[in-house]
């Protein structure tokens, strides 16, 4: 697994900005975030990642959280995990996990997370990226299409409930 320095930049999604998510800070995930991330993971996915799997991605440049500062205490409302995998000498980005708390959706938070993660992957040399998404997850598929991901192949029965996975790929502008 690649290990890269965590970018120091943070992104604040400001009110009225292109992402439309006021008061959201996108920043690298830290150990102190893991419990909150794990809680969201368990609430959102039928096959959640175990805590140790989340922990193993700490330090990856594509492991980012969205933090809301509209409450008294800042709280994690979403996260993305992406890393790079070797691919014929050129690293390929892999978006592995993305979730936003149910009550905080459709406010541009996943858009902000994914945009920052893809920038981090590009900075790590991975101009192209892939991901797997449940065939019936129309909302996520729509989000990924907006970022230029295209359906490349279908993996039948990929998930434990028998659901197919769609492999979506976003090519760098140089490879198109
Ligand atoms: C998919 C998910 C991450 C989207 O998070 P989000 O913060 O609500 O996404 P955004 O607000 O950035 O949405 C951006 C665009 O994606 C599309 N989109 C997102 N959710 C959608 C939904 N439920 N239905 C249809 N389109 C959707 C829309 O085009 C949306 O733009 P719009 O709100 O202007 O119409 C969130 O619904 C989630 O956590 N789902 C459960 C976990 C999951 O499925 N993760 C993806 C695994 S591959």
Residue 110 CB less than 6 A away from ligand 1 = yes
Give the three-state DSSP class for 117.
Answer: helix
Residue 139 CB less than 6 A away from ligand 1 = yes
Please write down the long-range contacts of 168-171, taking CB distance under 8 Å and 24 or more positions apart. 168/130, 168/131, 168/132, 168/133, 168/141, 168/144, 169/128, 169/129, 169/130, 170/118, 170/128, 170/129, 170/130, 170/144, 171/128
The Å distance, Cα 101 to ligand 1 centre, comes to 11
The Å distance, Cα 140 to ligand 1 centre, comes to 5
Report pLDDT digits (tens) over 56-105.
Answer: 999 999 999 999 988 778 999 999 999 999 988 899 999 999 999 999 99
Residue ID of nearest Cα to ligand 1 atom 18 = 139
Model-level pTM?
0.90
CATH topology for the 11-126 domain? Aminopeptidase (3.40.630)
pLDDT in tens, the chain (176 residues): 332 333 333 444 433 333 446 789 999 999 999 999 999 999 999 999 999 999 999 999 999 999 998 877 899 999 999 999 998 889 999 999 999 999 999 999 999 999 999 999 999 999 899 999 999 999 999 999 999 999 999 999 999 999 999 999 999 866 65
Choosing from 105, 137, 141 the residue with most ligand 1 atoms within 8 A of its CB, the one to mutate for a pocket test is 105
Q: Are 119 and 126 in contact (CB under 8 A)?
A: no
């Amino acid at each position: 697994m690649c290990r890269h320095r965590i970018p120091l930049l943070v992104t604040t999604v400001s009110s009225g900005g292109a992402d439309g998510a006021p008061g959201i800070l996108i920043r690298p995930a830290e150990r102190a975030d893991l419990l909150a991330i794990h809680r969201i993971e368990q609430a959102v996915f039928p096959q959640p990642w175990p805590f140790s799997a989340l922990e193993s991605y700490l330090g990856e440049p594509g492991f980012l959280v969205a933090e809301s500062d509209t409450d008294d205490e800042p709280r994690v409302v979403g996260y993305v995990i992406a890393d790079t995998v070797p691919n014929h000498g050129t690293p390929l980005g892999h978006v592995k996990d993305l979730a936003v708390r149910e009550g905080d959706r459709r406010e541009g938070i996943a858009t902000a997370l994914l945009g920052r993660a893809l920038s981090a992957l590009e900075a790590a040399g991975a101009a192209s990226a892939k991901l797997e998404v449940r065939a019936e997850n129309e909302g996520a598929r729509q989000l990924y299409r907006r970022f230029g991901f295209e359906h490349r192949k279908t993996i039948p029965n990929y998930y434990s409930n028998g659901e197919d996975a769609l492999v979506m790929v976003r090519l760098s502008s140089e490879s198109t």
